[in-house]
A and B are shown apart, each in its own frame.
Chain A
Amino acid sequence: MTWVFVQSLISGILSGGVYALFGVGITIIFGVMKMVDFSACSQLVWGMYFTWIFYAVTGLNCYYAIPFVVICMGALAFVIFKLIVRPLLGSNDTSFILVTLGLSYFLQNLAEFVFGTDPKTIPSPIKTSSIQIGEYTIGLPRFIAFCAMIVLVFAVYALLNKTTLGRAMRATAEKPEVAQMLGINTKKTFTIAFMIGVIFAGISGLLITPIYYVTPTSGSMFRTAAYIAVIIGGLGDIKGALVGGIVIGVIEGLVTGMISNDLGPVGIGLALLLVLYIRPQGFFGKGERRA
């Protein structure tokens, strides 16, 4: 029993790392634009497919695909921003929720239309290898994903706090009108924030290709778990996304490991309701509560 508990805990923390990485992408977009990007889970699917295309062409390991995926996702984000997000800047958040969900559905089914429904895999020796610590096993791909998440989160933290661009982004997040008056190009800041968010979703997709099959519906587990992670951590807070992601990963790991393999979404759904009852603004939220 203890073995099952500790093993579930470890795998929960590790898969929580991917939720955290994905959640940080959503958080950056929300932090700057005050809008939740519901299409991120389909952008993740496209990240997976870009990785697969790279593998199919070059035959290289998926981690070599990082520059390619970053460029492709950046281009995708730019197109999405110009066509869909920009006309909606300044409108209410309901229409943004609707548009990004429509986009999510569109991108997912576009993937299905282009690549078909049969699952694709990217074979590599890393896929099955693992690290053994005592009697517990850590899957190597999950471990790499977790480390990559830590590195990227620190990079974002440094970007926001140490660079001029980061200061401009934080100023825009604080009050766009004032930022514009101070000479910050807010449109450009929005574009960059959106691109970073989408690239994070794509990288999350790349990192999970050794773990999951590449199918158009692979993103659906992120549609619930990762968004709940962002909410319980406190919307718009990077620390919150990190902690929330790991908490949700652990809850999901424990529920699937100790109760039933199918009940993961129920566990995290209950966790969401519980957190919203007790602390509606999330762990690190600054209390945007308005009742």
Chain B
Amino acid sequence: MKKYLSLKSMIKIGLLVVALIFPLFVSGNYVISILVNCLFFAAMAECWNIIGGYGGQVSWCHASFVAIGAYSNFILSNDFGITPFLSLPLGIGISFMLAAVIGHATFRLHGPYFSVATIACGEAVRVLIQYFDKITKGAAGIYVSYKGADFWALTFENDIPFYYLGIIVLLLTVLVTYLFTKSKTGYYLSAIKGDETAAESLGIEVFKVKLTAFQLSAMLSSVVGCFYASFLTYIAPTSTASFDLSMKIGVVAIVGGVASLWGPVVGGFIVILLIEATSVFFGAAGGSQMIYGLLLIVVIIFKPEGIIALFRKNNAEDSKNMELDKKEEA
């Protein structure tokens, strides 16, 4: 057992080292920019995973939280010259409150209510961003004002700094998710996912636990969104707050593997690279976007645990025992 674990962590450390030195061997920005996209999508999917995977509550408005982080970054840095790092609390605060509003209305109910409410909310946020065009520049979107390479403004000459930033953000989301799943609330959440009624009869405050998980997921998403926006250098309601982005985040997480720590990371790289490859053949619109829908259908029907399940066939017994442990502990 011990030996096996250490082998696993050695593989992980090896992959991280490869990832860290990878940019030294690549010339040109294109490959790096695709990898940065993979990293950020993996990070967003990891956030989605907290409520969508571990909680079993399918959210389709994570793009709204990403947009909140992105817009608070750009508005504060363009209009007031404040560094993106200081705009993080603003984005986190707004996401926290928005998640509270959605959660309060829907987490008392069982069924598709949460999903419908999140779709509606995502649409409302996009429309509001377009409506308040004095602050957000409306549908035209915002460009970041480039004043030379500057770490505190998060503007760089090429995408390599964003590559490292992406790795840091991804590891941060993985760490937060890990800590969350090992916390009391995390165990409660997995118990609720297993059987809501049983969990409630054991004295778990179902409503509160779901709400906390959703708020954590939302706040973390806005942090990712803040850095992702700096990488994009241009944000618009259709690119950051649309249903399409929410959909992609969800698909990345589900294809990778819901309710697993590294599933969304695997999903981020596989899905985004696959889309990049197909868009070469089919064009960026329509054709390659079909793949998202197709992947989702195929994975849910044939491999609901996600791609990551292919890597850990032999310790299925382990995870079964772990789940039992979790239930007992809850």
Residues of chain A touching chain B, judged by Cβ–Cβ distance below 8 Å, are 36, 38, 84, 87-88, 93-95, 97-99, 101-110, 112-113, 116-117, 216, 220, 223-224, 227-228, 231, 235, 260, 262-266, 268-270, 272-273, 276-277, 280, 288-291
Q: In the complex, A177 Cα to B297 Cα: how many Å?
A: 27
As a 0/1 sequence over residues 91 to 122 of chain B, the CB contacts with chain A under 8 angstroms (1 = contact) are: 00000000001101110111111011101110
B200 to chain A, nearest CB (A): 8
Least CB separation from B121: chain A residue: A269
Any A CB within 8 A of the CB of B206:
yes
B41, CB-defined interface residue at 8 Å: no
Contact B111 A93 (CB under 8 A): yes
B128 and A276 contacting across the interface, CB-CB below 8 Å: no
4 extra interface residue pairs, beta carbon distance < 8 Å, beyond A265-B126, A268-B120, A273-B105: A84-B301, A95-B300, A231-B116, A276-B109
Indicate the member of B124, B131, B247 with the most A CB atoms within 10 Å.
B124
How far apart sit A220 and B70, CA to CA, in the bound complex (Å)? 24
Contact B124 A265 (CB under 8 A): yes
Closest Cβ of chain A to B64, distance in Å, is 11
Contact (Cβ within 8 A) A109 B289: yes
- Contact A109 B206, beta carbon cutoff 8 Å: no
Residues of B within 8 A of A38 (CB): 115
Specify which of A88, A265, A272, A280 is in contact with B116 (CB 8 Å cutoff): A272
Contacting residues, chain A, for B300 (C-beta < 8 A): 88, 95, 98-99, 102
Which B residues fall within an 8 A CB radius of A? 56, 58, 60, 101-102, 104-106, 108-113, 115-117, 119-121, 123-124, 126-128, 130-131, 196-197, 206-207, 243, 247, 250-251, 254, 282, 285-287, 289-290, 292-297, 300-301, 304
With a CB–CB cut-off of 8 A, which chain B residues contact A268? 120
From A112, A266, A289, give the contact of B286 (CB < 8 A). A112
Q: Is the CB of B56 within 8 A of A94?
A: yes
Please give the distance in Å from B150's CB to the nearest CB on chain A. Answer: 36
Q: Given A84-B301, A99-B296, decide whether A109 and B106 contact each other with a Cβ distance below 8 A.
A: no
Q: Shortest distance in angstroms between A42's beta carbon and chain B's nearest beta carbon?
A: 9
List, sorted by A's number, 10 A–B pairs whose CB atoms are closer than 8 Å. Answer: A98-B254, A101-B250, A102-B292, A102-B297, A102-B300, A109-B286, A216-B286, A224-B119, A266-B127, A288-B111
- Is B294's CB under 8 angstroms from A235's CB? no
- Using A99-B301, A262-B131, A289-B109 as known contacts, say yes or no to A110 and B117 having CB atoms under 8 A apart: no
CA distance A108 to B289 in the complex (A): 9
Q: Are B127 and A102 in contact (CB under 8 A)?
A: no
Determine the main DSSP class of B at the interface with A: helix
Which residues of chain B are near A117, meaning CB under 8 Å? 285-286
Determine the residue in chain A with the shortest Cβ distance to B302. A87
In contact, B290 and A272 (Cβ under 8 angstroms): no
Using Cβ atoms and an 8 Å threshold, which residues of chain A touch B116? 36, 227-228, 231, 272
Query: How distant is the Cα of A220 from the Cα of B126 in the complex, in angstroms?
Result: 13
* Bound complex: CA A282 to CA B57 (Å): 20
Contacts known (A93-B112, A223-B119, A265-B127); A113 close to B286, Cβ less than 8 A: yes
Is B117 in contact with A276, judged by CB distance below 8 angstroms?
A: yes
Q: Please give, as numbers and ranges, the residues of chain A lying within 8 Å of B120 by CB-CB distance.
A: 224, 227-228, 265, 268-269, 272
Q: A49–B282 Cα gap in the complex (Å)?
A: 21
A-B pairs, top 9 by smallest CB distance, nearest first, are: A106-B293, A102-B296, A112-B286, A105-B293, A113-B286, A269-B124, A109-B289, A290-B110, A291-B108
B309 to chain A, nearest CB (A): 15
For A272, list chain B residues within 8 Å (CB): 105, 116-117, 120
Which chain A residue has the least Cβ–Cβ distance from B244? Answer: A105
Q: Would you call A103 and B109 a contact (CB within 8 A)?
A: no
Residue pair B123, A97 in contact (C-beta under 8 Å): no
- Interchain nearest-CB distance for A225 vs B (Å): 9
Query: Given the known A-B contacts A104-B293, A109-B290, are A263 and B206 also in contact in the complex, defined by CB atoms under 8 Å?
Result: no
Q: Which residues of A contact B251 (CB under 8 A)?
A: 102
